Amino acid sequence: MYSLVFRTVILRLDPERAHRVAVRGFRYGRVPLAVAHALRILPAARHAQPVRAMGIDFPAPLGLAAGMDKNAEAVAGLVATGFGFVEVGTVTARAQPGNPRPRSWRELDVKGLRNQMGFNNEGADAVARRLQRLRSTRRGRAAIVGVNIGKTKATAPEDAAVDYAYSARVLAPYADYLVVNVSSPNTPGLRDLQSTEALRPILERTRAAADEARTGVRVPLLVKIAPDLADEDVDAVADLALALGLDGIVATNTTVAHDRGPGGLSGPPVRARALDVVHRLRARVGEKLTIVGVGGVSTAADAQALIDAGADLVQAYTGFVYGGPGWPARINGALVPRGRSPREPSDALSR
Ligand SMILES: Cc1cc2nc3c(=O)[nH]c(=O)nc-3n(C[C@H](O)[C@H](O)[C@H](O)COP(=O)(O)O)c2cc1C
């Protein structure tokens, strides 16, 4: 059904317009989605296995990666599709329009996407207000929401730590976890912040700001890295994360290692390197950090491979675009979290 809609409707829309329509659909679609689940039009996520990580009980291992719900407009609807959690953002300290259009392309031959959005978002204050409203409802409080923060384009690199800290202070009260994004290819100089000298003060100030904002509650803090980092740099970020007492690492963002035009490529072309990075990170950090694997998940086997390589949690963006609203529950229903054995055959058959 979704593949028909994808071919006949979605492909006719420019990708950014399709994205707007989808976010609006999920924003207003929580009730219809619930009805669709009840009528068994969509697979239910009730077979998903929970994961405990960073002191949080995630109802399922697969969550929505950052970038789709940049302004936290559609969290409840997205959770209703069967994602175990939703990472909103990237949110920057100040609102900004992002790069000029066009800035998003489908790469149909590889079932990928390419984008150079440039962190278009409404800014930390506006997103905080929206999350505050979300958290004022029972359903909104039950959703596991990560908040991904990035540097405002107009902020100079030397002021990056202050910029991230501002967002952390404003958004921590509503976040189950925070992610410092230093890996998007579409803000000039952002990825240079992955060097340990640049990253250390950003992570320290972000940690401090989150703690000031929420006394008595320690909001887990993660860092999101690029697949294009050299292996030694992956190790260096892992070592820094351990040294600073971070909670985890999200690996990976989109890749610039392609010749398809401007922007970062996502989907299957990122899969092998994301798997590699997850494996490397797990070998480096042992059980001390939570690893969130992301990149090229199209099937349950892809997600399971990330888990088997060491990811506690997985995320997807592109696979959801190509898979449609029934996709997250289907994938989550098939995943076996780390350290757990597959379900008994009789249980699996009853699905
Ligand atoms: C259109 C688009 C926008 C994205 N925006 C963000 C973003 O704002 N922040 C971020 O950390 N990652 C962003 N990403 C990267 C995804 O979160 C994810 O790391 C990457 O796409 C690899 O996963 P995938 O292959 O499942 O898409 C974006 C990806 C796409 C395709």
Q: Which comes out higher in pLDDT, residue 344 or 75? A: 75
Residues with CB under 6 A from ligand 1: 65-67, 70, 89-90, 104, 113, 115, 117, 119, 148, 181, 184, 224, 253-254, 266-267, 270, 294-297, 316-319
When the pLDDT of each residue in the chain is averaged and rounded to a whole number, the result is 92
CA atoms of 229 and 159, how far apart (whole Å): 23
Contacts of 209 (CB under 8 A, 6+ apart): 164, 165, 166, 168, 169, 172
Q: Which ligand 1 atom lies nearest to the CA of residue 90? A: 8
- Model pLDDT, residue 12: 82
| Average pLDDT, integer, range 24-38 | 75
- Domains in the chain, ordered, with CATH? 2-333 (3.20.20.70)
User: Locate tokens 């995320």: which residue?
Assistant: 315
Q: What is the residue with the minimal CA distance to atom 19 of ligand 1?
A: 253
Residue 328: asked if its preceding bond is cis (omega within 30°), the reply is: no
- For 156, 223, 246, the CA distances from 96, given in Å and listed in that order, are 15, 22, 28
pLDDT score for 349? 42
pLDDT value of residue 342: 76
The answer on pLDDT for 346 being more than 50 is: no
| pLDDT recorded at residue 44 | 62
- CA atoms in the 13 A half-sphere facing the CB of 129: 4
Structure tokens at 296: 């090229």
Contact status, residue 257 vs residue 228, Cβ threshold 8 Å: yes
User: Could you report the per-residue pLDDT of 260-319, keeping only the tens digit for each?
Assistant: 999 999 999 999 999 999 999 999 999 999 999 999 999 999 999 999 999 999 999 999
Do 283 and 315 meet the contact criterion of CB atoms below 8 Å apart?
no
pLDDT digits (tens, 9 = 90+) for 129-170: 999 999 999 989 999 999 999 999 999 999 999 999 999 999
User: What's the CA gap between 267 and 183, in Å, rounded?
Assistant: 16
Calculate the alpha carbon distances from 107 to 115, 249, 264, 268 in Å: 10, 27, 11, 10
Instruction: Please state the pTM of the whole predicted model.
Output: 0.95
Q: Which residue puts its alpha carbon closest to atom 6 of ligand 1?
A: 67
Q: Is the pLDDT of residue 320 over 90?
A: yes
For the chain, percent of residues with pLDDT exceeding 70:
93
Pick from 312, 310, 332, 311: nearest CA to 320: 332
Give catalytic residues, as residue numbers: 184
Q: Can you tell me whether residue 66 is helix, strand or coil?
A: coil
